[in-house]
Structures are given as C-alpha cells and as structure tokens.
C-alpha cells in the first residue's frame, strides 16, 4: 500500500490495516507501513495497557536482541505527546538515529521507537548514522496520528477484553512476574555473595577488590532499578487506578439528581493492570444498573485493598430490591470468573443495596492450565465467534478475512484444543471463559 504524508484516505486505510491485525501482529504491520515514510532497521514499543507484554520489538535481530524496557522507559517519561522527538541514542552498542513518538491516548501513555536506517538499505554499525536528515514534519504528524489511533485501540482492547483474552493475560502476567522474581532473587543472591567475598579483609590486591566491589554494587543497583521499572509498567498505583475510575463515573451522574460519593483506597500499593481494568469495568456496569432505580438519591463507590485482594463496593440508598441475577450480567461474571473473583449483593428492602466485587491481587500459585493459552490472537477471535454460533461466512465478514482463512483457523483451533468438532470447541470456550 502506498502511503504518503498527505491525503486522509490513505492515512485512514493505513490505520485500519494496522488495528485489524491480531495484537501480536500490530507492531510488525505498523513498522512495515511506516517504513515508507521513515526507513528504519527496528521498531519497539512500550505500551502500559498490556499487563503481560508491554514491551515489544520488531526488525533487525542484531538491534532488537539488545533493546530493553530500560531504553524506552526514559522516552515514555520525558516524551511530549503530539511532538515526535528526533535525535541519536546509545542503543545496542552504538549511537543510532531514532524517531520517538509518545502518545497519551491511553491514560498511562505509550511510546513507539523507530531506529532509523541510514541509507534505507541497512547500513552497518559504525557508519555516519548521525548525519541523517530530519523526518519531514508532515510525515512525523502522520506517524503521530497513527500511533494515537493504535494506542486508543490498545486501550479499548484492554478495557473490554473478552474473557479468553483476559485469561491469557492473567496467566501470562502471573508467569512473567514469577520468572522476574526468581531471576531477581538468583542474581541478587549471586551478587551479594560476590560482594561478601570481595569485602573480605583476608584477600590481597585492594585495588582490584575495590574495582570488583564497585562493579557488583552497580549491578545490584541496576537489577533493582530494572525490577522497579517493570513493576511500574505492569502495575498501577491503587490511587491512580481509582482516579481513572472516578473520572469515567462522573459523566454518568452529571445530569442526574443522584449524588455520587467516592471513597478512594487508603493505600500506596500497586495493583496489576488486569485487576484494575476489571474492577473499573465491573463498577461501571453495576452503577449503570443501580442508576436505573427511580428512588436512588445517593451512591457511594469505594475501593479497599488488603494484602490479598481488592474489594470494590457500590452502595445505594434505593429500594433495596436488586438481586444477584439482575446485577451479574455476562460481562461482570465472565471477568470475575477469569480472575477467580466473586460478586456479593446485600439488599435490605427500604434501605438500599450494597454490591461488592472481590478480586484476588495475585494469581494462584498453582493455576489450572488454561487450554486457550495455546491459541493465537486471531484464533481466539475466530473461536469467540464460533462459540456464538456464527458460521464461517459470517466470521469471515466480521474479521475481514476470506472464508478459506476461517476454515484454516478453525482446523488449527480444533487441533490445538484437542477436540473433534466445532461444538466441542465452543463448549470448551464457554467453560473456560
């Protein structure tokens, strides 16, 4: 597809071509499209919407194999949305020209990094890459607009994740956190032991010992800094997460006689992104049901955190006739089931109703294996529609793919799930989701 810095139709087509991809293919597709405007050897993103894989790369293996969140975190923190930054950075063992694009289309922001190609043909390291001409302002503006569209799409997918995708995110996030913790403990133990040896007064060569001690201390500091950066990306401070909820609730009662009271969590803890997303979705869904009652004049929404769980409550002064069946819609129960949460309804006729959603903060130490974890993003999209009873032609139209591609995905789904029919696959999806 030809894409230039002018013309709204090519730009809209480009945006559509990117966001229609499965999540894992969005960055590769975006990189391919942007290569027409800014030739580059590698692309990387740091997107705080994603609890289990916020850092993604694509392109030259020599470069992306040496990139990390430490390279992009400062760009995310200092970047100005709407003003792409151009310059050089020390990346993958060399000073490289880059274009960094920051977006605040998601509440916590996202940054896209393009490691530019000096001559469009993959110049070897060590060349005069710093002499590249600046990216044209119109092209930079188009890239900014595309990145804003993509990150807005990310935020919607995170906030409205189907149960299968949420389950995969939860499982992957738990595994990722466990691996990071284990690696951190192992490296920390090794470096601490090394420091103990180096500080021993029985060893000779004080200068060498001092140098090695400094190196070990620096390694420990960087290890802890990396763990803190990872936590900041994958988790949200509880107060900040609740503030985002409050901001989304106020418009619901702006022109209503109902008074909304907010009880922010009295905690400095952080919560996993999937937990925060789920708590916000559930509270909004419950509040909408509560506001349908005619005699409600006051609603209190609050979060409480313990060491083990987040408890979100919605309390009203209505007739006290709400029931679990009326509140536990598919959207609420499906999300809670994925996170091993529960919904409690305490209604007192004449006094009001208190609805509590309790969500564990941590993944179970021995989670049941999720059969959907083996499926790719596109396969999950096909399976979700298959489970709703849609036929291949309808699925093809909804996903804008050919009917033969749908048949291919269905065959792979049946193989990966170990089932023999579409009905069995649908039943398994409903059982897990």
Compute CA distances 415 → 23, 167, 409, whole Å.
22, 20, 10
pLDDT band at 366 (very low <50, low <70, confident <90, very high): very low
* Confidence (pLDDT) at 220: 62
Measured between alpha carbons, how far is 339 from 411 in angstroms, rounded to an integer? 29
pLDDT band at 51 (very low <50, low <70, confident <90, very high): low
DSSP H stretches of helix in 235-329: 238-253, 273-290, 324-327
Highest mean pLDDT (candidates 67-76, 306-315, 382-391) = 306-315
> Residue 285 pLDDT more than 90?
no
Highest mean pLDDT (candidates 15-24, 85-94, 209-218, 367-376) = 85-94
* Confidence (pLDDT) at 6: 46
Which stretch of 85-89, 165-169, 237-241, 282-286 has the lowest confidence by average pLDDT? 165-169
Tracing tokens 């490289």 back to the chain, one arrives at 96
Please state, rounded to an integer, the average pLDDT across all residues of the chain: 78
Tell me what the mean pLDDT of segment 289-313 comes to. 91
Tell me what the mean pLDDT of segment 353-377 comes to. 72
Give 376-418 pLDDT, tens digit per residue. Answer: 778 888 888 888 888 999 898 888 888 888 988 898 888 888 8
> Residue 58 pLDDT more than 80?
yes
> Residue 368 pLDDT more than 60?
no
What phi and psi, each to the nearest 5 degrees, are found at residue 13?
A: -65, -40
> Residue 365 pLDDT more than 60?
no
> Residue 300 is encoded by which pair of tokens?
């209190």
Top pLDDT among 337 and 162 is at 337
* Confidence (pLDDT) at 121: 41
* Confidence (pLDDT) at 404: 87
Highest mean pLDDT (candidates 109-118, 122-131, 158-167, 208-217) = 109-118
Helix (H/G/I), strand (E/B), else coil: 295: coil
Give 111-144 pLDDT, tens digit per residue. Answer: 999 999 875 444 434 444 446 788 888 889 989 9
* Confidence (pLDDT) at 328: 66
pLDDT band at 176 (very low <50, low <70, confident <90, very high): low
| CA contacts within 13 A on the Cβ side of 154 | 30
Q: Going by DSSP bridges, is the β-strand pair 352-360/342-348 parallel, antiparallel, or unpaired?
A: antiparallel
Tell me what the mean pLDDT of segment 93-120 comes to. 84
* Confidence (pLDDT) at 233: 63
Measured between alpha carbons, how far is 46 from 24 in angstroms, rounded to an integer? 14
Give percent of the chain with pLDDT exceeding 70: 70
Tell me what the mean pLDDT of segment 173-181 comes to. 54
Tell me what the mean pLDDT of segment 40-45 comes to. 92
* Confidence (pLDDT) at 378: 81
Tracing tokens 């284990």 back to the chain, one arrives at 182
* Confidence (pLDDT) at 433: 55
Estimate to the nearest angstrom the gap between the alpha carbon of 94 and the chain centroid: 30
Tell me what the mean pLDDT of segment 44-65 comes to. 80
* Confidence (pLDDT) at 260: 94
* Confidence (pLDDT) at 16: 77
Which stretch of 195-199, 279-283, 293-297, 340-344 has the lowest confidence by average pLDDT? 195-199
> Residue 423 pLDDT more than 70?
yes
pTM of this prediction exceeds 0.85? no
Measured between alpha carbons, how far is 133 from 300 in angstroms, rounded to an integer? 57
C-beta separation of 97 from 116 below 8 A: yes
> Residue 230 pLDDT more than 50?
yes
């Amino acid at each position: 597809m030809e894409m230039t810095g002018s013309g709204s139709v090519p730009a809209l087509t480009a945006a559509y071509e990117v966001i229609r991809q499965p999540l894992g293919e969005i960055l590769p597709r975006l990189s391919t499209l942007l290569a027409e405007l800014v030739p580059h050897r590698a692309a990387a993103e740091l997107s705080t919407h994603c609890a289990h894989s916020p850092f993604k790369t694509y392109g030259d293996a020599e470069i992306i194999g040496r990139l990390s969140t430490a390279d992009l975190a400062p760009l995310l923190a200092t970047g100005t949305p709407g003003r792409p930054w151009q310059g050089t950075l020390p990346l993958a063992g060399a000073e490289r020209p880059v274009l960094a694009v920051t977006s605040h289309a998601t509440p916590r922001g996202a940054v896209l990094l393009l490691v530019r190609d000096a001559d469009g043909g993959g110049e070897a390291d060590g060349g005069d890459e710093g002499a590249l001409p600046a990216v044209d302002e119109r092209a930079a503006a188009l890239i900014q607009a595309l990145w804003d569209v993509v990150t807005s799409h990310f935020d919607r997918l995170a906030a409205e994740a189907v149960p299968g995708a949420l389950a995969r995110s939860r499982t992957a996030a738990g595994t990722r956190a466990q691996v990071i913790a284990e690696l951190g403990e192992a490296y920390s133990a090794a470096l601490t032991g090394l420091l103990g040896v180096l500080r021993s007064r029985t060893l000779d060569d004080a200068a060498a010992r001092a140098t090695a001690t400094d190196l070990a201390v620096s390694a420990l500091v960087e290890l802890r800094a990396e763990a803190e950066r990872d936590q900041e990306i994958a988790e949200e401070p509880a107060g900040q997460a609740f503030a985002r909820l409050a901001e989304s609730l106020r418009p619901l009662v702006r022109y209503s006689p109902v008074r909304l009271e907010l009880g922010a969590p009295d905690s400095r803890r952080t919560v996993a992104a999937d937990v925060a997303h789920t708590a916000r979705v559930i509270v909004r869904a419950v509040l909408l049901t509560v506001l349908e009652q005619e005699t409600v004049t006051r609603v209190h929404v609050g979060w409480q955190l313990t060491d083990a769980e987040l408890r979100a409550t919605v309390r009203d002064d209505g007739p006290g006739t709400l029931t679990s069946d009326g509140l536990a819609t598919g959207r609420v129960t499906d999300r809670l089931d994925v996170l091993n949460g529960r919904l409690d309804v305490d209604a007192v006729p004449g006094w009001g109703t208190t609805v509590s959603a309790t969500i564990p903060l941590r993944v179970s130490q021995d989670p049941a294996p999720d059969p959907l974890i083996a499926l790719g993003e596109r396969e999950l999209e096909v399976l979700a529609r298959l489970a709703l009873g849609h036929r291949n032609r309808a699925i093809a139209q909804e996903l804008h793919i050919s009917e033969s591609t749908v048949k291919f995905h269905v065959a792979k789904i049946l193989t990966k799930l170990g089932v023999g029919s579409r009905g069995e696959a649908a039943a398994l999806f409903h059982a897990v989701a």
